[in-house]
Amino acid sequence: MDIQQEDKTCPQCAEAIKSDAKVCKHCNYEFTKKCPYCAETIKSEATICRFCHKNLNITQSPSPIQPTTKKPWYRSYIWLILFFLFLTPVWAIIILKDEEQSTGVKVLAGVILVFNVLWILSLFSS
């Protein structure tokens, strides 16, 4: 007695086929899977990915795909904030010394200068 193990369904034609089948005997659908390293579609029996050439028989899980582009350090928000907070007092002092600036701009520069000086002093007092 030949007992066939038909416990898999073809995703193409929905017919029952052997669990170890590589091709559906009803519609010739070739079974595929996604490469865990590059996410390309490859044959289900593949042992090496034809796209990224990684060995698929390794039992450990692959490391997640990391983005290759990294922002430069000077594009970080913390640097922009520090740049603003430490250079606005310099700007304010230059504006306050300029005799041709209007009173409104000088008041704004003075308020910014006081705010920044208090903020910098609070950093050293904690």
**Tokens 């038909």 found at:** 6
Q: CB-based burial of residue 24 (10 Å sphere; 0-12 exposed, 13-18 middle, 19+ buried)?
A: buried
**33, 44 contact by CB (below 8 A):** yes
- Structure confidence by residue, pLDDT tens digits, 89-98: 888 888 889 9
**pLDDT average per 10 residues of sequence, the chain (126 residues):** 62 82 83 86 85 79 65 75 82 89 91 86 79
Question: Structure tokens of 74?
Answer: 């000077």
One-letter amino acid identity for 20? D
